[in-house]
Amino acid sequence: MQNYVFVIDANKQPLNPIHPRKARRLLDKGKAAVFRMYPFTIILKTPIRQSRRCANASPTIPPCQIKIDPGSKVTGFALVQDNQVIWAMELEHRGGLIKKKLESRRAVRRGRRNRNTRYRKPRFLNRKRPEGWLAPSLEHRVLTIQTWVKRLIKFCPVNEIWVERVKFDTQKMPNPEISGVEYQQGELAGYEVREYLLEKWGRECTYCGKQNVPLQIEHIHPKSKGGSGRVSNLCLACEKCNQRKGNKPVEDFLKKKPKLLQKIKTKAKQPLKDAAAVNATRNKLVKVLREVKSVTTGTGAQTKYNRTKLGLPKQHWIDAACVGDIETLVLKTSQPLLVTCFGQGGRQKAALNKYGYPIRHNPLKSIKGWCSGDIAKNLLTGEFGRVNPRSKSNSFNYTVSGKKAISLHVKNLARVHRKDGYTYGFCQ
């Protein structure tokens, strides 16, 4: 089941999304044309009054809700109309890449200053950050989500935004048995800690790797021998492995598997940076989206409760569809659009090799009407890939996802989407 197709009228006003079969029929009859490839949108060639037979001729258009499941690395989107998920997307952020590039730039600048300037005593701290400041890698998450919300509103009649306003309790996560204050009450108690462990350990048994089986919370260093209840000492194990390990030290239990033992010890000490990233951006994300449309918030525990009650698998776009108070949910799509942030490119005029020597020229302007990152169709094979134009040749570098780049003549390329800082794909 594919995503529904967005439809806009001749005046570029959003209409009701339609099934891909109906969109194909309109395109074949010449009543519509492709307006945009990602997300796929068609535009009607005649006004609504003259196309009464069109499925969108109804004067009333049922509104849709944009549901969002924000994450530190991947954010899920879902369009829900009358309790039906008609369109879905998973957006992969590039916060880690931004942080890496900023650190590299800082190292280069510090080295240059140390080489070319005399030593100077540090002066008073005269740099002030504005109120509500976020690190660039975190600000990127907020602005990217805002960009896609505005983009969807252009192509679909949206009346409300639902956001999962999750808050990881970093005090309870290191010590789930904290006393003195009751953090969670009722049937949803404890979902936050368990959900974090499921994400951290990949939803599989830590010791045997089994998936799709009931998993129990396990103390890596036995509690009876002084092990703490911190999240760095917790993992997930199936019932069989949990019973076999008992209160043995993990070194004795895995003495015949030294590689697995080292992997568990390394992974258990991972910091809570993903939880911290979500906590830092949760309030600003809601504030930014409220400037666009009315926003309804939900909790992470509520999302998991809805997904478990409906028996749906764990995926980012499905989590987004389960945000808020819902009774029923019908999935009209099972093939979400996969979007990865790559940015608009830099201002570096020469590409360097690993030794720092220039190897080729980076074009900063379009060449023969093409820019690096444009998505084109290979007219010889029908495949879609990214284009990297060359200034001194009519043959461009052409890369299909998962394959090696090839050289292809410009006459064999048909542009389908101009570069916008993202790459696109579909879940198979």
141 domain-assigned: yes
Average pLDDT over residues 62-79: 93
Percentage of the chain exceeding pLDDT 70: 90
Q: Examine the fold and report which residue of 294, 322, 341 is the final residue of a domain before the chain moves on.
A: 341
Residue 187 banded pLDDT, cuts 50, 70, 90: very low
d(CA 60, CA 16): 9
- E strand intervals along 240-347: 295-298, 330-331, 337-341
Asked if residue 295 and residue 199 are part of one domain, the reply reads no
pLDDT above 50 (res 172): yes
d(CA 16, CA 155): 9
27, 226, 335 from 2: Cα distances, Å: 17, 53, 5
Region of poorest pLDDT, from 65-74, 139-148, 224-233: 224-233
Instruction: Count CB atoms within 10 A of the CB of residue 60.
Output: 6
Asked if residue 286 and residue 336 are part of one domain, the reply reads yes
Region of poorest pLDDT, from 57-61, 66-70, 114-118, 349-353: 57-61
Asked if residue 148 and residue 70 are part of one domain, the reply reads yes
Q: Are 421 and 38 in contact (CB under 8 A)?
A: no
Q: Examine the fold and report which residue of 322, 341, 360 is the final residue of a domain before the chain moves on.
A: 341
* Count of the separate structural domains present in the chain: 4
For the domain that residue 361 is a member of, what is the CATH number?
2.30.30
Q: Examine the fold and report which residue of 236, 268, 300 is the final residue of a domain before the chain moves on.
A: 268
Which residue in the block uniquely carries the two structure tokens 């019973």? 243
Asked if residue 285 and residue 330 are part of one domain, the reply reads yes
Q: Are 109 and 43 in contact (CB under 8 A)?
A: no
Instruction: Count CB atoms within 10 A of the CB of residue 266.
Output: 9
For the domain that residue 261 is a member of, what is the CATH number?
1.10.30.50
d(CA 67, CA 163): 6
329 domain-assigned: yes
Helix axes 136-155, 95-116, angle to 10 degrees: 140
Q: From its phi and psi, is residue 82 left (phi > 0), alpha (psi between -120 and 50) or beta?
A: left
Q: How far is CA 301 from the centre of its chain?
A: 20
Asked if residue 79 and residue 146 are part of one domain, the reply reads yes
Residue 173 banded pLDDT, cuts 50, 70, 90: low
Asked if residue 75 and residue 156 are part of one domain, the reply reads yes
112 domain-assigned: no
Domain that holds residue 199: 191-268
Considering the chain, what is the average pLDDT of its residues?
86
Q: Are 69 and 303 in contact (CB under 8 A)?
A: yes
Q: What are the helix (H) ranges across 217-272?
A: 239-245, 250-253, 258-268
Residue 52 banded pLDDT, cuts 50, 70, 90: very low
Region of poorest pLDDT, from 121-130, 158-167, 212-221: 121-130
125 domain-assigned: no
Asked if residue 156 and residue 281 are part of one domain, the reply reads yes
SS3 66: strand
Asked if residue 285 and residue 333 are part of one domain, the reply reads yes
pLDDT of residue 309: 92
CA atoms lying within 13 Å on the CB side of residue 240: 6
pLDDT of residue 183: 45
Asked if residue 161 and residue 300 are part of one domain, the reply reads yes
d(CA 395, CA 337): 30
d(CA 393, CA 138): 40
Q: From its phi and psi, is residue 232 left (phi > 0), alpha (psi between -120 and 50) or beta?
A: alpha
pLDDT, tens digit, 9 for 90 and up, residues 116-146: 788 777 777 777 888 889 999 999 999 999 9
Task: Retrieve residue 32's tokens.
Answer: 């519509």
Asked if residue 149 and residue 28 are part of one domain, the reply reads no
Residue positions counted in the chain: 428
Asked if residue 295 and residue 384 are part of one domain, the reply reads no
Beta-carbon contacts of 195 under 8 Å, excluding residues fewer than 6 positions away, are 300, 304
For the domain that residue 300 is a member of, what is the CATH number?
3.30.420.10
Asked if residue 394 and residue 263 are part of one domain, the reply reads no
Residue 428 banded pLDDT, cuts 50, 70, 90: low
Q: Please classify residue 17 by burial: count the beta carbons closer than 10 Å to its beta carbon, then call 0-12 exposed, 13-18 middle and 19+ buried.
A: buried
